[in-house]
Amino acid sequence: MKRSRGGGSATAADREVPLSQKAVKLVGNVCFSLFVLSVLIFTIVSITYQPPDPWFDSPKAIISKSLAATLPNATFRTDDSVLQTGEDLVPLTAADNSTTAIADDDNASSAAIVLPSLAPDCDPDAPLNCSDPRVLAAIQRFNTRIFHRSIIFLSYETPVSGSAPWECDAAWRFRNHREKSWRRYKDYRRFRLAPADNCTYEVVSAGKFRSGVNAAPKPPLRRQSSSRAPPSQIADAEINDTIPTLGSESNFRKGKYLYYTRGGDYCKGMNQYLWSFLCALGEAQFLNRTFVMDLNVCLAATYNPSGRDEEGKDFRYYFDFEHLKESASVVEESEFLRDWQQWDRATSRKAGGKISVLKVPTYKVTPMQLKKDPSTIIWRQFDGPEPENYWYRVCEGRSAKYIQRPWEAIWKSKRLMNIVSEIAGQMDWEYDGIHVVRGEKARNKELWPNLDADTSPEALVQKLTKVIHQWRNLYIATNEPFYNYFDKLRSHYKVHLLDDYKEMWGNTSEWYNETMALNNGHPVEFDGYMRVAVDTEVLYRAKNRVETFNNLTRDCKDGINTC
């Protein structure tokens, strides 16, 4: 009876289920079945369907085994944030066959190789025509494969014939990966080519930095002169560090100027000079005024073999005046004083016609107090004793919260950076670097007791052979005066020192001619600070760097107990 009742009650419950719930359950089952079926169909189609590849199916595309062999890791990413190299090939249409160079764009973050469409009836035995777009394409592929990790190629010129059959000279502009400026550098090399598959060419061998002399820029024509001047390289036409003029007297009168007279910073070290100079430039920007700049620099005795301070140096020897002019409002001091004198002379007979000048005798008058001063010229004077007469005192105290030093306005001279580029280029940008500090520090046993022994030739050989592969190019940046001090390293590495490249500032060099033009036709000495600047920049571009106080010695950089 109990079972009968239990079974009867279950049947009754089933009969009591509403019809709407049964319908919902049925629809859910049907939808799930359709979903499973659609997933199955999509999977089958994905596996079996092979869409045509527009790159390989295009009639103008390059279809060859040699291309796959040359670019085994080909990629066609179009992300502009990634440097495009020879792997990012873009075939041209028939209308674009005349294109033979990478776009020359200062703002370009990448450069793509441009390949011409290839004629099916080419003759591999025909003489090489260096202006053939396929020659440039082969050189571009070679360069990007060898140098793309070191430099960014910006523009190419059409190659010209070399000195022998199957040789071509090509020129291009480039930037270094480690330099963030917009500046461009030049190179031209000689290439030997050979026919390759599918009517293309390939580079068999390439010359060293600036070996393609037939592609070098042509010097301007000069009138014949009785005096015999040494042959010289061509000046860098992209450098424009001429002194800006104020123009008419009315323009001078409308301006607002900040003028600093020389203080105790003159003839101090270059670090203090820049610290003070950028303080003055920062105040001028805070006051919204043009800074009156003295281009004469006094080089401290520490940079001179004579051991004496040397006046009469030009700011443009060491720093990029063109970039400074574009980054800040400046006027050269002698130009400013001449216009000031002319204005005063022209208005001396008129009541109230002279330029209004506010003389500020002490640095204790803050830039905030001068912010609303209406005077045409604010003249800061530094006549007190040291250190009261240092320019950088203006930016101390409360002023430090308002004055920002515009470090971005200071770049090293393009002329010096051209030498850096040449040295690194002659090593094909494939070298390691070591910084060896000796000099006064090595002789001071009280502050640096281990430095002399830790940087001895024997110690250097023992340490470097553990961290740098043998027979690599090794550039040594050092203040060690004896050239042969590092001879023991020559048994393990291809050693390069700054003095190995003296011709780059010799009397036939580009640097020599350009600096002599700045110095009214008188030769300029390649001084100690220039050596430090070039040494440091070449070292900075090395693939691997070994530092004295971080790697070679147990001593601290600033002496005992300063680590």
The predicted-structure confidence for 301-354, as pLDDT tens digits, reads as follows 999 888 899 999 999 999 999 999 999 999 999 999 988 888 777 665 555 567
Output the pLDDT for position 53.
36
Q: Which residue has the tokens 């062999």?
A: 69
527 within a domain of the structure (yes/no):
yes
Select from 508, 424, 496, 428 the least CA-distant residue to 207. 428
CATH code, domain with 512: 3.40.50
Give dist(CA 235, CA 513) in Å, integer. Answer: 7
Give dist(CA 286, CA 364) in Å, integer. Answer: 17
28 vs 150, residue with greater confidence: 150
pLDDT greater than 90 at residue 370: yes
Give dist(CA 238, CA 105) in Å, integer. Answer: 15
Q: Are residues 438 and 534 in the same domain?
A: yes
What percent of the chain is predicted at pLDDT more than 70? 76
User: Which of the listed residues 374, 390, 409 is the one where a domain comes to its end?
Assistant: 409
Output the pLDDT for position 17.
57
pLDDT greater than 90 at residue 379: yes
Phi and psi of 359, rounded to 5°? -90, 130
Select from 211, 169, 216 the least CA-distant residue to 193. 169
148 vs 98, residue with greater confidence: 148
Q: Which residue has the tokens 């001068």?
A: 370
Output the pLDDT for position 315.
96
462 within a domain of the structure (yes/no):
yes
pLDDT greater than 80 at residue 2: no
Q: CA triplet 13, 16, 19: central angle to 5 degrees? A: 135
Q: Are residues 436 and 401 in the same domain?
A: no
pLDDT band at 46 (very low <50, low <70, confident <90, very high): low
Output the pLDDT for position 5.
46
Q: Are residues 210 and 336 in the same domain?
A: no
- Mention every residue, 6+ apart, whose C-beta is less than 8 A from residue 78: 88
Could you tell me if 473 and 497 are in contact, meaning their C-beta atoms sit under 8 angstroms apart?
Answer: no
Query: Per-residue pLDDT tens for 59-117?
Result: 333 333 332 333 333 222 222 222 222 212 333 333 333 222 333 333 333 344 444 44
Q: Are residues 404 and 289 in the same domain?
A: yes
Q: Are residues 398 and 511 in the same domain?
A: no
- Mention every residue, 6+ apart, whose C-beta is less than 8 A from residue 540: 178, 433
Which residue stretches of 435-496 are H helix?
439-443, 451-454, 457-467
One-letter identity of residue 452? D
Query: Per-residue pLDDT tens for 204-213?
Result: 999 999 999 9
DSSP structure class, residue 348: T
Q: Are residues 82 and 153 in the same domain?
A: yes
Could you tell me if 283 and 258 are in contact, meaning their C-beta atoms sit under 8 angstroms apart?
Answer: yes
Arithmetic mean of pLDDT, 487-493? 97
Report the domain count for the chain.
3
Q: Which of 102-111, 216-225, 386-395 is predicted least confidently?
A: 102-111
Arithmetic mean of pLDDT, 19-29? 74
Could you tell me if 89 and 113 are in contact, meaning their C-beta atoms sit under 8 angstroms apart?
Answer: yes
Give dist(CA 417, CA 320) in Å, integer. Answer: 10
Strand order in the sheet with 494-496: 494-496, 473-478, 432-436, 545-546
Q: What six digits make up the tokens of 125? A: 């035995």
Q: What six digits make up the tokens of 65? A: 């085994």
Query: Per-residue pLDDT tens for 157-175?
Result: 999 999 999 999 999 999 9
Task: Please give the span between the terminal C-alpha atoms of the chain, in angstroms, as a whole number.
Answer: 98
523 vs 243, residue with greater confidence: 523
6 within a domain of the structure (yes/no):
no
Q: Please name the helix (run of DSSP H) or strand (run of DSSP E) that holds residue 495, with its range, or none.
A: strand 494-496
State whether residue 237 is helix, strand or coil.
coil
260-272 burial, b at 16+ Cβ within 10 Å, e below that, comes to: beebbbbbbebeb
Give dist(CA 204, CA 193) in Å, integer. Answer: 5
Q: Are residues 196 and 74 in the same domain?
A: yes
pLDDT band at 58 (very low <50, low <70, confident <90, very high): very low
Structure-derived torsion over alpha carbons of residues 213, 214, 216, 222, reported in degrees to the nearest 10: 100
Its pTM stands at 0.73
Residue 258 CB burial class (10 angstroms; 0-12, 13-18, ≥19): buried
Which residue stretches of 1-132 are H helix?
2-15, 19-48, 54-57, 65-70
532 within a domain of the structure (yes/no):
yes
Q: Are residues 302 and 394 in the same domain?
A: yes
pLDDT greater than 80 at residue 224: no
Output the pLDDT for position 251.
72
209 within a domain of the structure (yes/no):
yes
Output the pLDDT for position 232.
45
Q: Are residues 255 and 398 in the same domain?
A: yes
Q: What six digits make up the tokens of 47? A: 């596996």
User: Which of the listed residues 215, 234, 260 is the one where a domain comes to its end?
Assistant: 215
Output the pLDDT for position 350.
56
Q: What six digits make up the tokens of 453? A: 């022994």
pLDDT greater than 50 at residue 430: yes
Beta strands in 279-437 (DSSP E): 290-293, 296-299, 310-314, 330-332, 357-360, 377-380, 432-436
The whole domain housing 318 covers: 249-409
Give dist(CA 220, CA 234) in Å, integer. Answer: 8
Q: Are residues 103 and 135 in the same domain?
A: yes
User: Which of the listed residues 409, 431, 463 is the one where a domain comes to its end?
Assistant: 409
pLDDT greater than 60 at residue 513: yes
- Mention every residue, 6+ apart, whose C-beta is less than 8 A from residue 6: none
Could you tell me if 260 and 234 are in contact, meaning their C-beta atoms sit under 8 angstroms apart?
Answer: no
Beta strands in 130-184 (DSSP E): 151-156, 160-161, 167-176
Q: CA triplet 262, 266, 271: central angle to 5 degrees? A: 125
Q: Are residues 396 and 485 in the same domain?
A: no
Output the pLDDT for position 304.
87
Could you tell me if 370 and 399 are in contact, meaning their C-beta atoms sit under 8 angstroms apart?
Answer: no
Phi and psi of 432, rounded to 5°? -110, 160
State whether residue 209 is helix, strand or coil.
coil
**Radius of gyration (C-alpha) of the chain in whole angstroms:** 35
298 within a domain of the structure (yes/no):
yes
Q: Are residues 261 and 403 in the same domain?
A: yes
* Counts for the chain of helices (H) and strands (E), in that order: 17, 18
Q: What six digits make up the tokens of 479? A: 């203040």
What mean pLDDT value characterizes the chain? 81
557 within a domain of the structure (yes/no):
no
One-letter identity of residue 100? T
Give dist(CA 297, CA 333) in Å, integer. Answer: 13
DSSP structure class, residue 382: -
Could you tell me if 408 and 181 are in contact, meaning their C-beta atoms sit under 8 angstroms apart?
Answer: no
Dihedral sign for Cα 411, 415, 419, 424, please: positive
Residue 73 CB burial class (10 angstroms; 0-12, 13-18, ≥19): exposed
